Chains A and B, each alone.
Chain A
Amino acid sequence: MSFHRQMTGKDEIILRRAAQEVQQGQTINLGIGLPTMLPIFLPATIDVMFHAENGCLGMGKPVDNGTPDYPVIDAGGRACHLVSGAACFDSVLSFTIVRGGRLDLVILGAFEVAINGDLANWTIPGKSTPGMGGGMEVAQKAKRVMVLSHHLDKNGRAKLAEKCSLPLTAPGCVDTLITEQAVFRRQNGRLTLVSLHPDTTLEIATSPFDFKVPVAQKLETWRA
């Protein structure tokens, strides 16, 4: 049993777009769920180190037919290879990396993201409380926080809200939000729509919002 799921068409659009945001040489932490599939979409020329909370820097590809008993797993419980130059350590050192500000980028999933960059992804009180794990620390201390999420939740509500209704993981931390329809970047303290997927329009992408979403004057071309 682990968190890893089958990829959908929407997931693939989000992951391909997110891969464009990764820069050479970065130290990156991937949240469980969708973000753990990002490495599949990175070009071979990009050389980055993936950090896993349970105590590795330099996580590599998943192990074929690996079991959860394999001696190297990612934070979602999947058996992984280590890349050349990887390091293994304990939880104390792992979070010294996190709280010491050594993560260039963290890529997370979300229950809700607010327009001011607030992130809620650790509890739906009374319903689902997976717990914060290392989420509060990576969200609060990474140099850049990117959230990958479907544009709408299962009930058809936009994941981007004017204000989070759920308890926060960290306030004002989200720098970039990528959905299958749009890219939002925090500009002047507010997540601003800066790019649209070619299959959608500004009207369609903004119609689920019951508040005004800032839109960049000149939209970026969608890269994937």
Chain B
Amino acid sequence: MPHKIKNIAEAVTAYIRSGQSMMVGGFGRGGVPFSIIDYLADHPEQYKGLILYKNDANEPDLGIGRLLKNRQVKHLYTTHIGLNPAFIAQMNAGEIACTLTPQGIFAEKIRAGGAGIPAFLSDIGLHTSYAKGKEKMTLDGQNYILERAYHADVAIICADMVDQKGNCWWQGSNRNMCVAMGTACDHVIVEAKEIVDTGRLQPENIHLPGVFVSAVVRAEPRRHQQEAAA
């Protein structure tokens, strides 16, 4: 089987188009594919009108904060935007659509999308404004919100160790939304902090098997890390 390692330009050109829906891994900084995002942000005319799914809006000049600032995004599906006041202002001004969903329901919608489950029932937020306008169902006398699954054209995620077959392993809290997102999209580009030889990862410790992965790219040293090294 040929290996999946590509450079960022090759992978992005092969799988990402303007107007696509795209899931982006990460919570805070862990799991965020910064190098791929920076490539997209450096080519704003080629990649715009994106529909993004991401746990949080990052910070104004970091990660998807750059795509939001460049107005390359038309709709952000997310759970928390509190660290990006610039985006809160854009949302309040109606410049970019934003759909906020409880975090675990957001994760479960993605998991369902990857697992071939079109929708599920949940009582989270049932008695809050979150439930307004949402489809409801009664099961065994209880009311629930019908939560539809999320599926997207492409996922970009960052893993700590990835082998040539695309098997992924994450350290600490870096896994977050990445695993579910890696199952819920037509194509998955994994940004690897470290690429290891196939066979090096213990089979039992693989968090996302390579079967879900289209391409593996190498993470570039981040700008501030380069500054720190200089």
Which residues on the B side are within 8 Å of A129 (C-beta)? 81, 88, 91-92, 100
B83 within 8 A of A: yes
Q: How large is the interface on B (under 10, 10 to 19, 20 to 34, 35 or more residues)?
A: 35 or more
Q: Answer yes or no: B128 CB below 8 A from chain A CBs.
A: yes
**Do residues B59 and A1 form an inter-chain contact, with CB atoms below 8 A?**
yes
Contact across chains for A136 and B173 when beta carbons are under 8 A apart: no
User: Beta-carbon contacts of B164-201 to A below 8 Å, as 1s and 0s?
Assistant: 00000011111111111000000000000000000000
B contact residues around A96 at 8 Å (CB) = 104
B173 touches which one: A56, A126, A171 (CB < 8 A)? A56
The interface size bin for chain A is: 35 or more
Using Cβ atoms and an 8 Å threshold, which residues of chain B touch A88?
170-173, 175
Bound together, the chains give a CA A129 to CA B172 distance in angstroms of 29
**Of A3, A91, A126, A170, which is within 8 A of B176 by CB?**
A91
A77 near B28 (CB under 8 angstroms)? yes
A167-B128 in contact (CB<8A): yes
Interface centre among A68, A126, A127, A134 (most CB of B within 10 A): A134
On chain A, the residues within 8 Å of B111 by CB distance are: 92
Query: How far apart are B31's CB and chain A's nearest CB, in angstroms?
Result: 9
Looking at chain A's contact residues, the main secondary structure is loop
Task: Chain B residues near A134: list those with CB within 8 A.
Answer: 79, 102-104
Interface flag for B4 (CB, 8 Å) = no
CB pair A170–B128 under 8 Å, yes or no, is yes
CB B222 to nearest CB in A, in angstroms, measures: 8
B196 to chain A, nearest CB (A): 16
Chain A residues near B175 (CB-CB < 8 A)? 55, 88-91
CA distance A88 to B173 in the complex (A): 6
A98: interface (CB < 8 Å)? yes
Question: In the complex, what residue of chain B is closest to A137 when comparing beta carbons?
Answer: B104
Are B29's CB and A69's CB within 8 A?
A: yes
Question: Residue B107 contacts which of A92, A140, A170 (CB distance < 8 angstroms)?
Answer: A92
Residues of A within 8 A of B104 (CB): 53, 91-92, 94-96, 98-99, 134, 137
Q: How far is the CA of A140 from the CA of B126 in the complex (A)?
A: 10
Which residues of B have CB within 8 Å of A90?
107, 175-180, 207
**Is A217 among interface residues, defined by CB-CB distance under 8 A?**
no
Which A residue's beta carbon lies closest to that of B175?
Answer: A90
Name the 9 nearest CB pairs between A and B, nearest first. Answer: A95-B104, A130-B82, A71-B172, A72-B172, A133-B80, A91-B107, A131-B80, A134-B103, A54-B27
